Structure 1
Amino acid sequence: MSVKFDRKSAMRATLTQEKKSVDERFARADAVLTSHPSGLASSPITTPERTFSAESSAAQGRLIVSAKLECTHENPLNARCIYDPDVVKELAASIATRGQMVPASAVAHPSIQGHYLLIDGHYRKKAAAAAGLQTMDLVVRQSEGEIELYRLSWLLNEERSAQSPLDNAFAWRKLLDKGLVQNEGKIAELLGISAATVNKTLALLNLPTAALDKMRERPAKFGVFTGYELTLAAKKIEESALLDLVNKIIAEDLSSREVSAIRAKIESGSTRKRKETSRQYKVQNNGQHIGSLKEWDSGKVALEVILINPKDRAALVAELKARFCIMK
């Protein structure tokens, strides 16, 4: 027997577990970046770096600063686009009690002296503001350009708490629109994922705006395969029915397999030709059954009779020709 917890209980349990391992997971992600100080595309550099701070072993070799929130700008190519307000509240309470345990990653702002661009840490910035703090701790890295700004954001999120496919769809569309990648294949190559995953993810943006807005409320409910099944279903049903399906996925926590079964049923119903039932009338001549007259709701009418007498047959044919203005 399965027990369903309410949303707040489930969120609280998730955050509790998250807090237990947050330092470890941040350090693991940071360690990856430490081995690639010039960007993920380059080979690791073994030359010792100058140490600005020894606050944590993972942060060695990079400058840690306490920056004003107003001087800390969001990453324009952040991998995460959707933020859960409940998570912000929980994290704000934690920061207000314990302080900011892990610095956020940032680079110097390319056009504003003394300001910074976050690579990640947007949840922490929102939580710090909600907690009434004026500053946040940043690990300042060397900037490697726009595309690297996105890739580092994506990597850090993947190491800790991955963004949803809907986040990815919005972010990848931005990369394409800005010309930072030429096509879907380049996104797959950049991130080391399959081209099929990129294609299915971007297909989410073909859904109606109302459906996307509803999905933004609970993005974790819509994995790549569930989302793709929705895009297929959307081609066969009206928007209102699609919204009903989105709500059903959220309310009943449907798996991608269950959504696939619903979509297959929708497609089967839309492609199956409805069988028409005819109304039949017996045709008699002198008390003998000589044929039938059939009609359908579609408008089709069929007359089939057998007339042995040539004169009777000729008379009927002539009458039908006259009735329907049939010329030789």
Structure 2
Amino acid sequence: MATSFKKRALSPAKMQEVEAVTAAMPFSGEKALFSAQQAVSSAACAVEEKQKFVPGQTFDANAGVPHGGASTDYQVGHIYDVALSAIQSNPLNPRFVYTDTAIDLMAKSLKANGQRVSATAYLDENIAVVLIEGETRLRGARAAGLQTLRVEIKKRPSTDQALYEEARAANVERKEQTPLDDALRWKELLTKKVYPNQRALGQALGYSDEIVSRTVSLASLSSRNISVIAEYPDLLSLKMLVAIREYAELMGDDDALKLILEIAAKGLSSREVVARRMAAQKLPTKRPRSSREAVSYKGATGEIKAFEKNGRLELSLKGLSAESVQELTIALHTLLA
């Protein structure tokens, strides 16, 4: 069960230390460190609802009339004032990165205007309230020192895919989903086999193989560069992010960080970033287009990268035991023979 916490400022040095540790941790729910947008969508903070909310009351979602008193007998289709300590984050939250700016904006909105949009959640087998969507409001409520969050109880999604897709659809509707969020979460979903491969993920969400591949490739950006990029909403288009990622692969993280700050300061376009990379690379043409797919074997994870134009295929795996390396090597030799 999630616990309440008080927001405290971190020094830049401490922030780097936390980022380095977090980059190696499993990412779900409260462990997500960054934010994909500097400003939480003003639409999500400003959407008006017909009914006024008073802390301590529960609401009938159909009638919109408050029942007196608090309730722990949650029913699907009703809205409740739920203690923050009783709420768990969505384990497949489509939003992956959260900036302090975004959380502070939400906290100020909740303090000044109250919660105008209910979060949505389902009940798990332990009768815990698990968010479907509403993580920004949850974090904002904690930062604001509030005790409760207004939550509509919905039917529990039948599968992990259904849970992710319902939450993501809500974010897309509010224009809160970014390619950076998608890249980091899709990589996890593919690794955990929530979707068997990139094509299945793309078909479920309505994206082409190329878009999925380009998006997933963004997950190779360093946590430091991701945290900086997230502070600049104008940098969060797929074209710009891919251009930055390609530049980082060529020039390294430090040079990429300098370029990111220059892009933000000067308003460089993605075309200018590509031109900067090509000038550094001294190549007159674009690099061969590649597709990537996450793979796992004997507990190790990695990816297969295929280059369409020159017929090159690369396989990389990390975390294999010596025995597994030998076994896989023999299998590949047999296959190639």
Same fold (TM over 0.5): yes
Deviation at 1:235, TM superposition (A): 3.6
Indicate how the Cα distance of structure 1 residues 17 and 53 shifts in structure 2: closer, same or farther if over 3 A, else same: closer
Counterpart of 1:71 in structure 2 is 86
For the pair 1:268 / 2:282, whether they are aligned, the reply is yes
1:54 partner amino acid:
A
Deviation at 1:89, TM superposition (A): 1.8
Secondary structure of 1:112's counterpart equals coil
Quick one: distance in 2 between partners of 1:111 and 1:266?
56
Deviation at 1:17, TM superposition (A): 6.5
Secondary structure of 2:133's counterpart equals coil
Counterpart of 2:149 in structure 1 is 136
Deviation at 1:244, TM superposition (A): 1.8
For the pair 1:121 / 2:134, whether they are aligned, the reply is yes
2:161 partner amino acid:
I
Quick one: distance in 1 between partners of 2:81 and 2:163?
21
Give runs of aligned pairs for residues 91-170 of structure 1, distance below 5 A.
91-108=106-123, 110-113=124-127, 115-144=128-157, 145-170=159-184
CA offsets 1:6-61 (integer angstroms, 9 cap, x no match): xxxxx78x8667655x248xxxxxxxxxxxxxxxxxxxxxxxxxx753229xxxx8
1:118 partner amino acid:
L
CA offsets 1:146-172 (integer angstroms, 9 cap, x no match): 111111111000000322211111111
Large movers: runs of 4+ above 4 Å: 14-20
1:236 partner amino acid:
L
Give runs of aligned pairs for residues 303-322 of structure 1, distance below 5 A.
none
CA offsets 1:291-327 (integer angstroms, 9 cap, x no match): xxxxxxxxxxxxxxxxxxxxxxxxxxxxxxxxxxxxx
Counterpart of 2:264 in structure 1 is 250
Quick one: distance in 2 between partners of 1:175 and 1:16?
29
Query: TM-score when scaled to structure 2?
Result: 0.61
Quick one: distance in 1 between partners of 2:43 and 2:164?
27
Counterpart of 1:55 in structure 2 is 64
Indicate how the Cα distance of structure 1 residues 229 and 106 shifts in structure 2: closer, same or farther if over 3 A, else same: same
1:252 partner amino acid:
K
Which stretch shows the higher mean deviation, 245-254 or 262-271? 262-271
Query: TM-score when scaled to structure 1?
Result: 0.62
Q: What percentage of aligned pairs have identical amino acids?
A: 30
Highest CA radius of gyration, 1 or 2? Answer: 1
Secondary structure of 1:234's counterpart equals helix
Indicate how the Cα distance of structure 1 residues 129 and 159 shifts in structure 2: closer, same or farther if over 3 A, else same: same
Counterpart of 2:219 in structure 1 is 205
Q: Specify every segment of 5 or more residues in structure 1 that has no aligned partner in the other structure, as ranges.
A: 1-10, 25-50, 272-328
What's the Cα RMSD here?
2.8
Q: Relative CO higher for 1 or 2, CA cutoff 8 Å, sep ≥ 6?
A: 2
Indicate how the Cα distance of structure 1 residues 220 and 75 shifts in structure 2: closer, same or farther if over 3 A, else same: farther
Quick one: distance in 2 between partners of 1:111 and 1:258?
53
CA offsets 1:46-93 (integer angstroms, 9 cap, x no match): xxxxx753229xxxx822122111111110100001113223222222
Secondary structure of 1:179's counterpart equals coil
Deviation at 1:139, TM superposition (A): 1.1
- Decide whether the 8 Å contact of 2:43 with 2:174 is kept in 1: no
Quick one: distance in 1 between partners of 2:188 and 2:252?
28
Quick one: distance in 2 between partners of 1:225 and 1:71?
40
Counterpart of 2:255 in structure 1 is 241
Quick one: distance in 1 between partners of 2:154 and 2:165?
14
Counterpart of 1:282 in structure 2 is none
1:124 partner amino acid:
R
Counterpart of 2:185 in structure 1 is 171
Quick one: distance in 2 between partners of 1:168 and 1:15?
17
Counterpart of 2:95 in structure 1 is 80
CA offsets 1:202-241 (integer angstroms, 9 cap, x no match): 1112234443343344465232111111232234324332
Q: Specify every segment of 5 or more residues in structure 2 that has no aligned partner in the other structure, as ranges.
A: 1-37, 50-59, 66-75, 286-337
- Decide whether the 8 Å contact of 1:53 with 1:64 is kept in 2: no
Secondary structure of 2:151's counterpart equals strand
Secondary structure of 1:119's counterpart equals strand
Q: Which has the higher helix share?
A: 1
1:70 partner amino acid:
S
Number of aligned positions between the proteins: 228
Secondary structure of 2:176's counterpart equals coil
